[in-house]
Amino acid sequence: MLLALLALAWIVGIVGTAWFSPAPALLGVLMGVGLVSTGLGWRTYPVRRVGLMLVCTASGGLHLLLAQPEATPHSVAQLAAYGANDIGLQGVVQVDPRQTEETQQVLLETEMASVDGMLVRIEGQVLLHLPPYPAYRYGQRLLVYGQLQQPRPARHPNQFDYRDYLARQGIFVLMYNPLVEVLPGVDGNPFLRGLLALRAHCHARLLRMLPEPQASLAAGMLLGLKATIPNEVRDTFAATGTAHILVVSGWHLSLVAIMLVTMTTHAGLSRRATFIIVLATIWVYALFVGATPSVLRAAVMASLTLFASTAERRAEPWTLLLLACFALTLLNPQILWNIGFQLSVLATASLFAFAAPIEAWLLRCPPLRWSAFAWVRAALTATLAAQILALPLIMYQFGTVSLIAPLANVLLAPVLPLAMLLGGLTLGAGLIWLELGQIVALSAWLPLSWIAYVTGWLAQLPWAAMPLPSFPSWLLASYYGLLGGWYVWRQWADGMVLEEDASMVPISQE
């Protein structure tokens, strides 16, 4: 429990520093107070705990301040002042480009710039907005010519701020449709280049073994690729509240880990061998599908759970979640403002907090308490519990709510593991022999078609999704504050009841 509180204090320090911008000296004073309280109250547990939490709060704030990118004379952002002048930039593709049907976004780590015929050394990242083809790859060296622009800021207080969103990723300038020349040579991590090349090869095989949209659905679920998913298919998943199916999320990674543990256990491998195989597979797969913030969160939690299981220690869910957040913010404190990471953490926390009471509530309904409807109860429990914390943020960020999401998830939940399993078998067989993969693909076609048909049918209902007016951020914060206070009070009240019940148990005398 202490580890969870210290990790929470660290996160509060990061968020508080971002909101209130305290001076570094104030954070230093807070850390000093915490250290003194910890030292003086070493034998008094409450005082020591408060002191350690103050130290972690101050440390989180200082970590955010130290992680802020510093503007230098060589920063590429300084070149945006040239306005309409075309600027030549040379650099390396930093991550695997994000592709859709209409465009691709390429993150270029710059090295040199040509300004008015002068060649200068620069540093920093530029986001390139390019046509979808030709497709570029991680590690390629590019020479681009175009106009540097600053991202657009929000026009209204509650509007999405694209400039702030990119700034938290260290991106301050971008280019739209520049001229691109591919330079000889490659850069970047060779292992990651190999993984991404393998993913592209797997994607090409899936497109040859399955028709559309089944191939694109399989590519999204197994490989984390959305480039070939048609826009109308994306719209149907968004309208039915099932967009998480199209991308590799924490749920997908957890399913892979569970399947792998089951296979290694049935194979009779030792605990140490199981630990090494599962841990390596978790992180290789996380890198393979793109290492998005939600996948990284799940990978860290799965790794901590694996460590605890191997050491025969009990893994407390809240501690695992907060330690995962601590580990990721230690690497990059700005990850807290990533919407995918926020939704992943909120959905996981919501399951921890509300799954049990919602399941108890569903058990009061006669049909749902029957064993034949256990799968319906499980799907409804997961869907409703996750929405309690995640849905308000979705409504705030995207201005819509899916009224059909519970029904859609109930109809799709039993099919998703089967679709992933058969899709994975199809891909594995196709990598060995294309014709064999095409035969196995007949089995994967049915669950993938069911997913596409159900979402398409439900999205056509006029009340499937409802647009909402924008609302202020303080209302969202108030909701989470009240709900969090209620949950803490309930936990405290339940603890008091348990203590009273324990005190009434008679002590046996021997």
The CA distance from 23 to 173, in Å, is: 28
Residue 508: per-residue pLDDT: 40
Pair (375, 478) in one structural domain: yes
Are residue 181 and residue 242 in the same domain, yes or no? no
Say if residue 96 is in the same domain as residue 234: no
Q: What's the pLDDT score for residue 509?
A: 38
CA-CA-CA-CA dihedral for 436, 439, 442, 445, to nearest 10 = 30
**Cα four-point dihedral sign 425, 431, 432, 435:** positive
In this structure, are 319 and 419 located in the same domain? yes
pLDDT (0 to 100) of residue 108: 94
Shared domain for 338 and 219, answered yes or no, is yes
Look at residue 54 and tell me if it is in a domain.
yes
Structure tokens at 345: 């953490």
Q: Are 401 and 454 in the same domain?
A: yes
Q: Which CB contacts under 8 angstroms, 24+ apart, belong to 317-324? A: 317/352, 318/4, 318/349, 318/352, 319/1, 319/3, 319/4, 319/7, 321/345, 321/348, 321/349, 321/352, 322/3, 322/4, 322/7, 322/8, 322/11, 323/3, 323/4, 323/7, 324/297, 324/300
Whether residue 85 lies inside any domain: the answer is: yes
pLDDT of residue 510: 35
pTM for this entry: 0.86
Q: What are the respective helix, strand and coil percentages of the chain, to the nearest 5?
A: 65, 10, 25
DSSP output for 359-405: HHHHTTSHHHHSGGGHHHHHHHHHHHHHHHHHHHHHHHHHSEEESSH
Do 183 and 255 reside in the same domain of the chain? no
Residue 496 within any structural domain of the chain: no
Helices (H), 210-292: 214-223, 231-239, 250-266, 271-288
CA angle 339, 341, 347 (to 5 degrees): 100
Q: 90: domain range? A: 76-188
One domain, residues 208 and 178: no
250, 369: one domain? yes
Question: Half-sphere exposure of residue 345, counting CA atoms within 13 Å on the CB side?
Answer: 27
CA nearest neighbour of 417 among 232, 299, 257, 206? 257
User: What DSSP string runs through 134-165?
Assistant: SPP-TTEEEEEEE--BPPPPPSSTTS--HHHH
pLDDT for the residue numbered 81: 66
Instruction: State the 10-residue block means of pLDDT for the chain, 510 residues long.
Output: 88 92 90 83 73 92 88 80 74 89 89 82 91 90 91 73 84 91 90 91 93 90 82 85 78 73 76 84 87 87 83 82 94 91 90 88 81 78 87 86 86 87 92 92 94 91 83 87 87 62 45
Looking at the fold, whether 13 and 121 belong to one and the same domain comes out as no
457 within a domain of the structure (yes/no): yes
Nearest to 233 by CA among 502, 445, 456: 456
Whether 325 and 428 map to the same domain: the answer is yes
With respect to residue 12, please indicate whether it lies within any of the assigned structural domains: yes
Helix (H) or strand (E) run with residue 98 in it:
strand 98-99
Number of Cβ within 10 Å of residue 362's Cβ equals: 18
Residue 140 tokens, joined: 């390629």
DSSP state for residue 95 in the 8-state scheme = S
Half-sphere exposure of residue 42: CA atoms within 13 angstroms, side-chain side: 4
CA 9 to CA 83: how far, in whole Å? 44
The answer to whether residue 22 sits within a structural domain is yes
Report strand pairing: 171-176 vs 125-130. Answer: parallel
Q: Which SS3 state, helix, strand or coil, does residue 273 take? A: helix
With the C-alpha atoms ordered 443, 295, 374, 320, is the resulting torsion angle positive or negative? positive
Number of helical H runs and strand E runs in the chain: 18, 10
Q: Which residue, of 19, 38, 66, is where some domain finishes?
A: 66
Q: Look up the CATH number of the domain holding residue 136.
A: 2.40.50.140
Residue 509 lies in a domain: no
For residues 127 and 270, state if they share a domain: no
And the tokens for 95?
């991550």
Asked, as a colleague might, if the bond just before 213 is cis with ω within 30 of 0, I would say yes
Domain count, the chain: 3
The CA distance from 273 to 146, in Å, is 53
Q: Give the residue from 289, 277, 215, 214 showing the smallest Cα distance to 250.
A: 289
Q: Which of 25, 13, 22 is nearest to 63 (CA)?
A: 13
144 domain-assigned: yes
